């Protein structure tokens, strides 16, 4: 265990399939602080993400997501955000005061690990993943305090490195 030297919340951002949830859970355990996954909070409060997109549309999802993120960022926790949460200007503003870790991944690595059935933006397969990542990359880079590539190392090792760094 190590008490984080960096201020909490420690926030994980990055594209779909970068490992934000799995790595965030392990980092929180190593730091002995709570873990919050904002997608899971949205699902618990409002139902499946695929259904929110289908019935209410992406803009409505982004507003629910903005609220879930704002609540999570008030906690002394490790917080994993959905890949598109950084699109909201309110979230961009709120993240300015946080320790933000960007998890990156290559298109080759993501194709082997990502589940498309729960991700409405990938309903046509992983083909759209790279375009979405490229569009968001400037936002990710601007908000990140530090970044870790998750393509070729086991998630346990990446989580250890982030916890040691924090």
Q: What are the binding residues?
A: 17-22, 39, 62, 83, 119, 136
Binding site for ligand S3P (CB under 6 A): 16, 20, 39, 49, 82-84, 119-121
Return the bridge partners of 99, or none.
10
Closest residue by Cα to residue 22 from 66, 70, 80, 74: 80
CB 1, min distance to ligand S3P, A: 27
Q: Which is nearer to ligand S3P, 36 or 49 (CB)?
A: 49
Q: How far apart are CA 143 and CA 129, in angstroms?
A: 20
Q: What residues contact residue 102 under an 8 Å CB cut-off, 6+ apart?
A: 13, 14, 140, 141, 143, 144, 146, 147, 148
Q: Which is nearer to ligand S3P, 20 or 66 (CB)?
A: 20
Q: Which is nearer to ligand S3P, 93 or 115 (CB)?
A: 115
CB 82, min distance to ligand S3P, A: 2
């Amino acid at each position: 265990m190590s008490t984080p030297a960096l201020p909490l919340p420690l926030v994980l951002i990055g594209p779909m399939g970068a490992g934000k949830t799995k790595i965030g859970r392990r980092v929180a355990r190593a730091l002995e602080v709570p873990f919050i996954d904002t997608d899971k909070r949205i699902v618990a409060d409002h139902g499946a993400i695929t259904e929110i997109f289908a019935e209410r549309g992406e803009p409505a999802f982004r507003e629910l997501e903005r609220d879930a993120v704002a609540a999570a960022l008030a906690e002394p926790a490790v917080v994993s955000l959905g890949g598109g949460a950084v699109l909201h200007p309110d979230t961009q503003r709120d993240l300015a005061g946080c320790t933000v870790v960007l998890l990156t991944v290559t298109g080759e690595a993501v194709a082997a690990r990502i589940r498309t059935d729960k991700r409405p933006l990938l309903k046509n397969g992983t083909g759209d993943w790279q375009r979405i990542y490229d569009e968001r990359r400037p936002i990710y880079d601007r908000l990140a305090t530090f970044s870790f590539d998750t393509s070729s190392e086991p998630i346990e090792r990446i989580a250890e490195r982030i916890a040691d760094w924090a």
